[in-house]
Structure 1
Amino acid sequence: MPIEHASVRAMHKPWGVSDLQPWSSIDGTGDAVGELWFERADGENAPVPALLLKLLFTSAPLSIQVHPDDTFARAMGMPNGKSEAWYIISAKPGAQVGIGLKRRVTPQELRASITNGSIIELVQWRPVAKGDVIFIPAGTIHALGAGIVLAEIQQRSDTTFRLFDYGRARELQVDNGVAVAHAWPPRSPGNPTRLTDERTVLVASRHFVLERIELAAASSWALVAEPETWILVLDGHAAIGLATVSTGQAIFAGGGRTSIEVGSSGLTALIAYPAAAPVDSLLQRLCEQPTNLVHPAAPNVPKLTGLAEVGT
């Protein structure tokens, strides 16, 4: 199968940072970098992936925003909407995110809160820490605070409806935002599920599965990838097929079987692929007994969140 080092595209943002170490050597001095997009190396000729993998770096709050679902997006002539998941890599003391609202409001009340700025108080803010996971279905009002580094996996869409932007001179999309917003509180948080000793399912949604894998030093594995599989290294290093990867680097696997040879410091990585449930056969240890399933995957695996899932 094709195994590619993902190319990296830096996105300059007013809320970004200048120092991206240890995740990237890109220098944001003078033009802050807020996002790193991981793309297929042969993006011009390869099929467009269903998912987009990013790293985000925040030095200031992002806009309070919302994304459309598939139905609304297609009515506007776009291929799909945008559901996403965040994995918190690091967070400064006091860092927080906004997910959903504190109470249910009418569209008229939501619009009024945007106009007078009280939406800041209406959003449900909560602290975050390293390792937290947040699933954000399309329609969820959400925002990122300052001092956070996170990995994001999302449906491949860049459609964002900004509701409030802290006075920055950027266009708001209030009409569309109010039309698609789920203007109510989030559901109670769920918990990641340990699938095997090495695999933890962080999110299993209708559009994608996000897992964290933790592989022992000097171990050997077979990866049986879905037709589109993204791997982001959080810690350690390994050889995946013929590609060597370390912290902050990403791999695109185009489906099929390949090897993972883990380095001397072990490997912790995120794996994401478009599926509605975890794939049992994704990872098998070589030269030893097959990986023991802790909680066997099933077609009806519920959506998993680390902090919040917003009801529909």
Structure 2
Amino acid sequence: MEVFKLGALTLNWLNGGVTHMDGGAMFGVVPKPLWSKKYPVNEKNQIELRTDPIFLQINNKNILIESGIGNNKLTEKQKRNFGVTEESKITESLKKLGLTPKDIDIICMTHLHFDHACGLTKPELDGFSSFFPNAVIYTSEVEWNEIRNPNIRSRNTYWKENWEPIKDQVVTFNGKLEIEGAITMIHTGGHSDGHSIIVIESEGERLVHMGDLMPTHAHQNVLWVLAYDDYPMDSIRAKQVWIPSTMKAENWFTFYHDGHYRALKWDEEGNVLDSVKRNRDE
């Protein structure tokens, strides 16, 4: 479990499972000879994409960024198609911190696609129930509306078993939301219409969690957007706003999907100033 200090805050990456998705889809129109220099690819043209939530504590509140891939939610066909070789071990990760899922107070969701939201619920004999029953779950109003009324494209990733059991826990926002004086959620759109990024600040230090606008360090280029993006030009516009300015300020970026880096700090020219690498032995 990697640990990262941001000012007075300590961030821990939990084991949320892993997918292996098609590299071409993850880099859209970017030719493979270009993106494969930036991110390893296997013989099936798949790239490793973690689904690991970030845990932190603010004002004695236990907080998660995202929720993981979940357990026993996917069929064998889905596991094969999504390259899932490991499901969530959130309970085990939290136990190392002396906590249980019931101790989580707040969950910040950049969006509610299955690979981010499956961990919010768990199967029961008669259906599904909340995995974090005492948490307030924040997401944008646009995202919450779409998961409940998906369109012909998004219905393959917005699943009712991921939202129906937690509908009474969800709190939505429009535009921007500040949480516990240190976290700001900002609606960007792009990857999904309701997608948000998350900014965390402490003692003069700052990080930007770009969600699926920059799922891995290899997506730093503002034009390298996913074929999965519903509104790619909105993704590009949001990346133009946030990536160069964050690099110029030499602030941190954190990742949910990156199989190699947990956090990175670049300078204005794109040179790596500092990093937290993923411990691949865990």
Normalised by the size of structure 1, how large is the TM-score?
0.28
Q: 1 or 2 for the larger relative contact order (CA 8 Å, sep ≥6)?
A: 1
Q: Relative to total residues, which structure has the larger strand share, 1 or 2?
A: 1
Q: Relative to total residues, which structure has the larger helix share, 1 or 2?
A: 2
Normalised by the size of structure 2, how large is the TM-score?
0.30
